[in-house]
Amino acid sequence: MTALFNRLKETNAKEWASYVDHEFIRQLAAGTLPKKAFQTYLIQDYLFLIQFARAKALAVYKSQNLKDMHAAEQGLAGILSEMELHVRLCGEWGLSEAELEATPEHPTTIAYTRYVLDCGVSGDLIDLLVALSPCVIGYAEIARRIRPEVESISGHPYAEWVSEYAGDAYQTIARDTENHLDELAKKYVTEQRFADLGRIFATAARLEADFWQIGLRASQ
Ligand SMILES: Cc1ncc(C[n+]2csc(CCO)c2C)c(N)n1
């Protein structure tokens, strides 16, 4: 069987494309995305990452062995370091960490994060990791693809954001995440189960596309 993650992507190609080829990303890559769109997105992303840190902690709870726990631990460490970027950029715009945390969550932020948490609470570790996979692996794919365009524009306004995700540290986390999911799938995922996991994957990819839309809507 093709490795699980690639198979999920191929089976849900439309939802995947709506996420990784979103208009927000096209404008971001070209450097034309309005600042208001990016700022609105990044503040919501900070709130999103707080919930995703909880989801990684839930992955520890759902793990039955140390290997799976370490993988969740690495994911949690990745989120905490990613949030330093958010705090720094928002600080440059005059927003404190306390103000960030006091910002109300957008309905899409609530929908996406609570959906993922519920996949983990009501399902097993694989359900949870599949719900998390578009987020972790999608950003690595997006950043790799747009990096040449971003680097060709001097003084690109979003260069720091892109280099965070295109950098070796993050690319390695994303590759490890994909390999870990594929290994678990080889052991535990049957053909019957694949359809259920596909629905989780497609929902998470659609919610990622909606998440970009939070930013675009704010600048219209
Ligand atoms: C909406 C949204 N989707 C994905 C990411 C990317 N992301 C989420 S958690 C994490 C660290 C994984 O170890 C990364 C890179 C994001 N920031 N916001």
Name the amino acid, one letter, at 110: I
Inter-residue contact 118 to 200 (CB < 8 Å): no
User: What is the per-residue pLDDT for 126?
Assistant: 97
Query: Averaged in consecutive runs of 10 residues, what is the pLDDT profile of the chain (220 residues)?
Result: 90 98 98 96 96 97 96 92 91 91 97 98 98 96 97 96 94 93 92 95 98 94
User: What is the per-residue pLDDT for 220?
Assistant: 78
Ligand 1 center from residue 44 Cα (angstroms): 12
Q: Which of 49, 74, 83, 214 to mutate to test the pocket of ligand 1 (most atoms within 8 A of CB)?
A: 49
Give the tens place of pLDDT for each residue, 188-219.
999 999 999 999 999 999 999 999 999 999 98
Give the tens place of pLDDT for each residue, 69-91.
999 998 999 899 889 999 999 99
Q: pTM (2 decimals)?
A: 0.95
CA–CA distance from 18 to each of 27, 86, 112, 146 (Å)? 14, 24, 15, 16
Structure tokens at 203: 């929902």
Kindly tell me the burial class for residue 50, based on how many C-beta atoms sit within 10 Å of its own C-beta (0-12, 13-18, 19 or more). middle
Where along the chain do its domains lie?
4-218
User: What is the per-residue pLDDT for 81?
Assistant: 87
Structure tokens at 209: 């596309």
User: What is the per-residue pLDDT for 1?
Assistant: 56
Q: What is the ipTM of this complex?
A: 0.95
Q: How far apart are CA 66 and CA 125, in angstroms?
A: 13
- CATH fourth-level superfamily of 4-218: Heme oxygenase-like (1.20.910.10)
User: What is the per-residue pLDDT for 100?
Assistant: 92
Q: Which of 82, 142, 163, 178 to mutate to test the pocket of ligand 1 (most atoms within 8 A of CB)?
A: 82
> Pick from 163, 193, 143, 140: which is nearest to 4 by CA?
193
The ligand 1 atom at the shortest distance from the C-alpha of residue 79 is 11
User: What is the per-residue pLDDT for 194?
Assistant: 95
Residue indicated by tokens 């919610």? 207
